[in-house]
Amino acid sequence: MVSAAKKLLQEHNINSASTIEFDVNGKIHSFTFEEIIKIYAEASKESQLVFLRSLQKALEAKEMGAQKFFEGMGKLLLMSHLSENFKVD
């Protein structure tokens, strides 16, 4: 899945080392496109296929589509990470 996603990015002249940054309460969290791809590659086969199909559709919308796609995927990862670390006293 990782190589297929990276190949799609290469075909559209998009650098997999591009970074998405999120500011959460003054703390910056960042992911590269490649990191996001690798994290989603650990998901189920069905989820991987959905990821690849969605990436393909985003790339059809040119570079801005890829940017928005990885922003959305990064937000999901960040929310998941933050919710796992959330503690109620």
> In total, how many domains does the chain have?
1
For 15-67, what is each residue's pLDDT tens digit?
A: 999 999 999 889 999 999 999 999 999 999 999 999 999 999 999 987 678 99
**Which domain, by its residues, includes 49?**
2-85
Contact yes or no for 5/37 (Cβ under 8 A): yes
Beta bridge partners of 30: 21
pTM: 0.86
Beta bridge partners of 32: 19
